[in-house]
Structure 1
Amino acid sequence: MLRLWLEYADLTRVRFTDRLHPASTVLLASQALRRPPLAAALPVLARRVAESGAALRPLHHLIAAQGPAPDFVTPWDGVASIEDGLAVIRSTPVRKVRAQVSAAYTGAPASTARRRFADADSGVLDALVTAMRAYFHQVLEPDWAALTRNHRQAVGEAAARFARAGAEGLLSGLHPGIRWRSPVLEVDSWRDGDVRLGGNGLFLLPSPFAGPRPRVLIRADQPALVVYPVEAPAGLDGGPAADPLAGLFGRTRSAVLTQVARPGRHTTSSIARHAGISVSSSSEHLSALRAAGLVSSRRDGGAILHRATALGQSLTSS
Structure 2
Amino acid sequence: MAGVLRIHFSDRDFRYVQLAGSADPIWEAILGLHVLTTPPSRLPARLRPWRRRAAERQRDSERQRGSELRAACRLLGDLAPPDAPYFPDFLTPVESEDGISAGLRTLRATSGARLARELREAARHRALPGWTRRLASGDRELLDRVADALLHFHAQLIAPGWSEVEATVAADAEGRARAMEGGLVAVLERLGPFAWRDPVLTAPYPVDLDLRLRGRGLRLIPSFFCHTMPIAVADPDLPPVVVYPVSPPAQEPRAAPRAGAGDALGALLGTGRARVLDALTAASTTGSVAARLGMSASTVSGHLKVLRGAGLVHSERAGPHVRHRLTGRGRHLLGR
TM-score, with length taken from structure 2: 0.68
Letter in structure 2 aligned against 1:215: I
Inter-CA distance 168–39: structure 2 relative to 1 (3 Å threshold): closer
Letter in structure 2 aligned against 1:248: V
Cα deviation for residue 112 of structure 1 reads: 2.4
Does the 8 Å CA contact 1:171/1:180 hold for their aligned counterparts?
Answer: yes
Confirm whether residue 287 of structure 1 aligns to residue 292 of structure 2.
Answer: no
Counterpart Cα distance in 1 of 2:218 and 2:144: 32
Cα deviation for residue 99 of structure 1 reads: 0.7
Query: How far does the alpha carbon of each residue in 1:274-312 deviate from its partner, in whole angstroms, 9 at most, with x for none?
Result: x9xxxxxxx9867316x74669xxxxxxxxxxxxx999x
How many residues align structurally?
268
Q: Aligned residue for 1:269?
A: none
Secondary structure of the structure 2 residue equivalent to 1:19:
coil
Does the 8 Å CA contact 1:208/1:231 hold for their aligned counterparts?
Answer: no
Inter-CA distance 93–32: structure 2 relative to 1 (3 Å threshold): same
Confirm whether residue 162 of structure 1 aligns to residue 180 of structure 2.
Answer: yes
Q: Aligned residue for 1:44?
A: 50
Pick one of 112, 116, 126 that aligns with 1:108: 126
Q: Aligned residue for 2:26?
A: 23
Inter-CA distance 146–190: structure 2 relative to 1 (3 Å threshold): same
Query: How far does the alpha carbon of each residue in 1:55-80 deviate from its partner, in whole angstroms, 9 at most, with x for none?
Result: 43221233222321111111111433
TM-score, with length taken from structure 1: 0.71
Q: Aligned residue for 1:247?
A: 275
1:136-215 to 2 correspondence within 5 Å? 136-163=154-181, 165-175=182-192, 177-215=193-231
Q: Aligned residue for 2:77?
A: 60
Does the 8 Å CA contact 1:33/1:39 hold for their aligned counterparts?
Answer: no
Letter in structure 2 aligned against 1:62: L
Q: Aligned residue for 1:228?
A: 244
Question: Which ranges in structure 2 are unaligned for 5 or more consecutive residues?
Answer: 60-68, 250-270, 280-289, 325-336
Letter in structure 1 aligned against 2:11: Y
Inter-CA distance 232–43: structure 2 relative to 1 (3 Å threshold): farther
Letter in structure 1 aligned against 2:140: S
Percent of pairs with identical residues: 26
Does the 8 Å CA contact 2:179/2:187 hold for their aligned counterparts?
Answer: yes
Q: Aligned residue for 1:118?
A: 136
Inter-CA distance 258–30: structure 2 relative to 1 (3 Å threshold): closer
Q: Aligned residue for 1:268?
A: none
State which drifts further: 122-131 or 148-157. Answer: 122-131
Inter-CA distance 47–17: structure 2 relative to 1 (3 Å threshold): same
Q: Aligned residue for 2:12?
A: 9
Does the 8 Å CA contact 1:178/1:187 hold for their aligned counterparts?
Answer: yes
**Quick one: higher RCO (CA 8 Å, sep 6+), 1 or 2?**
2
Counterpart Cα distance in 2 of 1:310 and 1:166: 18
Question: Which ranges in structure 1 are unaligned for 5 or more consecutive residues?
Answer: 234-242, 263-274, 276-282, 296-308
Counterpart Cα distance in 1 of 2:300 and 2:185: 42
Counterpart Cα distance in 2 of 1:59 and 1:225: 21
Counterpart Cα distance in 2 of 1:210 and 1:174: 14
Inter-CA distance 63–119: structure 2 relative to 1 (3 Å threshold): farther
Cα deviation for residue 4 of structure 1 reads: 1.7
Does the 8 Å CA contact 1:32/1:39 hold for their aligned counterparts?
Answer: no
Does the 8 Å CA contact 1:69/1:104 hold for their aligned counterparts?
Answer: yes
Letter in structure 1 aligned against 2:126: A
Letter in structure 2 aligned against 1:44: W
